[in-house]
């Protein structure tokens, strides 16, 4: 990787009505770093080289901002394999190529990379929109629900959260309310598996989702504070998984106590308007809004990806379309999961390498699928169903 003439500037944007001295000004902070990246142009595939060079520029920008980067590039008979490990508190909010040049088989570019300031976190662009499948939320202690009370909390929570996310519009969501991500609630966050593969990978594929949200009700118990004041606890732990590998990407706990709460009046069904108007319903929905805000801000900063569902030479059909904001002319990186597992020194498998195969450009879009084309005309790789495209 080559990085030259990198510079960093702190961007401060102020929004105010009238004179700033007369009203409260708000500030939004982000770091903007201009960094360079380069990649070899193989098989005349400029798009592939551009995608790799841009990722190297983004990694260089994060490194300049204080991240720790370890990168190795290995040439094999099958192509170039790049492994990068990066630790940073900064998130990449966006990147824009400001200049590029090709010379003697190399593509070099300069990119303007916008990074989150850890002290003032910002929202990622999130386009194209990511899609999530929302699984049911089982109860770790179902005995906390008294006999005769509504016991459909797991399914209702998946449906309510998916509806909330779709209503907000930053993510696409599909409720998988009849799916339990775990063998038992106490096993979370370890997902249930079949033949070693997390079951949620199949759900994500069926829902055309890139990520899966699952969770557990850790506590719904009732108690008496100071032995006098009745209180009920609503406590969730929520997990976000990679829909392609089943790897756990993020987790967070959410809770709300209801003081002076003795239970729902008789005759109120959870999910009804009467439930929503109750103290329990209002707090439950407020808790889901917190979960939704966290899920949106987390998933929108994760990579956008698409599955190859048909492959015919250089022509590919993908499982995402205009409903995600995909447009003709967008460029992506075609990858394939490698055979080599990434493991810790203790032997724990963290995932598998993905090998970059080629650059891809979107040619046409439909609401639920799109058609793309491998840009390499000289010795294009043989794409196959199950390969994955990634965008920055």
- Which of 2-11, 73-82, 131-140 has the lowest average pLDDT? 2-11
Give how far the C-alpha of residue 229 lies from the chain's centroid of Cα atoms, to the nearest Å: 41
Q: What percent of the chain has pLDDT over 70?
A: 73
pTM of the predicted model over 0.75: no
The reported pLDDT for the residue numbered 2 is 37
Whether 280 maps to a domain, the answer reads: yes
Domain with 187, as residue range(s), is: 131-299
Q: Is residue 119 predicted with pLDDT exceeding 80?
A: no
**What is the chain's length?**
392
Cis peptide before 189 (omega within 30 of 0): yes
Number of domains in the chain: 3
Q: Extract the tokens encoding 331.
A: 């460029």
The DSSP output letter for 20 is T
Residue at which a domain ends, from 248, 278, 299: 299
Strands 331-343 and 349-365: antiparallel
Helix (H, G, I), strand (E, B) or coil at 160: helix
Instruction: Judge if 284 and 353 occupy the same domain.
Output: no
Cis peptide before 128 (omega within 30 of 0): yes
Contact 38, 73 (CB under 8 A): no
Contact 130, 304 (CB under 8 A): yes
Q: The domain that contains 314 carries what CATH number?
A: 2.40.10.410
Residue at which a domain ends, from 272, 299, 326: 299
Instruction: Judge if 220 and 321 occupy the same domain.
Output: no
Helix (H, G, I), strand (E, B) or coil at 142: helix
Q: Could you tell me which residue, 70 or 60, shows the higher pLDDT?
A: 60
Whether 2 maps to a domain, the answer reads: no
pLDDT-based confidence at residue 68 (cuts at 50, 70, 90): very low
Q: Could you tell me which residue, 18 or 289, shows the higher pLDDT?
A: 289
Q: Could you tell me which residue, 258 or 28, shows the higher pLDDT?
A: 258
Count of other CB atoms within 10 angstroms of residue 107: 22
Alpha carbon distance 215, 194 (integer Å): 20
Q: Three-state SS across 311-339?
A: EECCEEEECCCHHHCCCCCCEEEEEEEEE
Q: Extract the tokens encoding 34.
A: 């201009």
Q: Is 83 exposed, middle or buried (0-12, 13-18, 19+ CB in 10 A)?
A: middle
Who's near 348: CB < 8 A, 6+ residues apart?
none
Instruction: Judge if 163 and 257 occupy the same domain.
Output: yes
Write out pLDDT tens, residues 177-195.
999 999 999 999 999 999 8
Instruction: Judge if 169 and 290 occupy the same domain.
Output: yes
Write out pLDDT tens, residues 323-378.
998 999 998 989 988 766 666 676 665 666 778 888 899 999 999 999 999 988 78
């Amino acid at each position: 990787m080559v990085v030259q003439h990198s510079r960093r500037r702190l961007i401060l944007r102020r929004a105010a009505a009238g004179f700033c001295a007369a009203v409260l000004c708000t500030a939004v902070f982000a770091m903007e770093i201009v960094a360079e990246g380069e990649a070899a142009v193989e098989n005349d595939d400029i798009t592939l080289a551009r995608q790799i060079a841009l990722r190297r520029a983004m990694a260089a920008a994060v490194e300049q901002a204080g991240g720790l980067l370890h990168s190795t590039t290995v040439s094999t008979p099958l192509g170039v394999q790049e492994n990068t490990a990066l630790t940073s508190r900064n998130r990449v909010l966006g990147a824009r190529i400001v200049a590029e040049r090709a010379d003697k088989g190399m593509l070099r570019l300069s990119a303007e990379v916008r990074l989150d300031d850890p002290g003032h976190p910002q929202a990622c662009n999130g386009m194209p929109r990511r899609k999530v499948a929302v699984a049911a939320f089982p109860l770790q202690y179902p005995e906390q629900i008294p006999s005769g009370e509504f016991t459909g909390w797991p399914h209702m929570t998946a449906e309510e959260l998916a509806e909330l996310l779709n209503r907000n519009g930053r993510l696409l969501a599909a409720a998988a309310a009849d799916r339990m991500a775990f063998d038992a609630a106490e096993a979370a966050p370890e997902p249930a598996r079949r033949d070693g593969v997390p079951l949620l990978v199949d759900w994500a594929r069926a829902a055309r989702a890139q990520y899966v949200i699952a969770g557990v009700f850790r506590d719904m118990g009732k108690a008496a504070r100071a032995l006098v004041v009745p209180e009920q606890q609503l406590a969730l732990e929520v997990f976000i998984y990679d829909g392609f590998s089943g790897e756990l990407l993020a987790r967070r706990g959410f809770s709300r106590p209801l003081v002076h709460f003795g239970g729902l009046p008789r005759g109120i069904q959870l999910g009804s308007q009467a439930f929503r108007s109750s103290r329990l319903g209002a707090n439950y929905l407020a808790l889901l809004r917190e979960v939704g805000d966290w899920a949106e801000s987390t998933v929108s900063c994760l990579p956008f990806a698409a599955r190859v569902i048909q492959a015919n030479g250089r022509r590919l059909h993908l499982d995402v379309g205009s409903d995600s904001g995909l447009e003709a002319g967008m460029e992506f990186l075609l990858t394939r999961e490698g055979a080599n597992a990434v493991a810790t020194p203790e032997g724990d498998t963290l995932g598998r390498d993905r090998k970059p195969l080629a650059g891809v450009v979107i040619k046409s879009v439909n609401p639920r699928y799109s058609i793309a084309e491998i840009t390499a005309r000289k010795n294009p790789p043989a794409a196959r169903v199950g390969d994955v495209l990634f965008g920055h």
